[in-house]
Structure 1
């Protein structure tokens, strides 16, 4: 949970909030998944609530099995503007199809396990 009224977080605070490591957060920035992280006057990263919301979404995309390259492409498309809506939508729809397929496979696997346990 985030502190109320706060909108600037250190990398260690963000790691604690998200469960991501500082190394992963730096890597996300390096590959363009988190390209506009603000810096303090001393050069330390300062993440915003908007950054935390984005990281929450990225974490969900990772859980879907979306390749990192596709996540980076999605982030690039957002930065390019509204005219990329259709391509972004297609990326998400393809991911949704993949998730539904995996869910069906897992349900079949669960049925086999249930049968064996019974």
Structure 2
């Protein structure tokens, strides 16, 4: 697949894809005879993984380390597992924080809704 097709498929800019490749986040992409990037299904799996991890807030540096470890082979399986386990712990903390924020927002919205309803009722009564 071309970079334009991949860009559209994953809703990422072509610059972002080039950047991911340049910093080592995306393992080297094959090139066709014309020198253009030719993405494989394996590349697509990496892009899906990167996009998923980034959307959950994992730092690029952590993902670069993960890719580096992956490229070293099976002897790094334990290190990769530890890296992902630590990131999972951090994500759980973020989710708990977000849940508390959501509860607070819901409370504030409910307070505002209660204060608006009586005013609307008073306005309707004065119109009658």
- TM-score, normalised to structure 1's length? 0.90
Q: Distance in 1 between matches of 2:28 and 2:106?
A: 48
Deviation at residue 109 of structure 1 after TM alignment? 0.7
> Which residue number in structure 2 is paired with residue 34 of structure 1?
26
Alpha-carbon distance in 1 for matches of 2:57, 2:104: 23
| Partners of 1:11 and 1:47 within 8 A in 2 | yes
Give the whole-Å Cα distance in 1 for the aligned partners of 2:10 and 2:75: 31
Give TM-score scaled by structure 2 length. 0.83
Question: How many residues in Structure 1 have an aligned counterpart in Structure 2?
Answer: 110
How many angstroms does 1:27 deviate by?
0.7
- Determine the structure 1 residue equivalent to 2:50: 58
Q: Which is higher, the Rg of structure 1 or of structure 2?
A: 2
Higher relative contact order (CA 8 A, sep 6+): 1
SS at 1:38's partner residue? coil
Question: Of 89, 101, 106, which aligns to 1:97?
Answer: 89
- List structure 1 segments (4+ residues) > 4 angstroms apart after TM superposition: none
Deviation of residue 35 (structure 1)?
2.6
Q: 1 CA distance for matches of 2:98 and 2:59?
A: 20
Gaps of 5+ in 1: 1-8
- 1:3 matched to which residue of 2? none
Supply the distance in 1 between the matched residues of 2:106 and 2:58 (Cα, whole angstroms): 29
- Tell me how large the CA RMSD over aligned residues is: 0.8
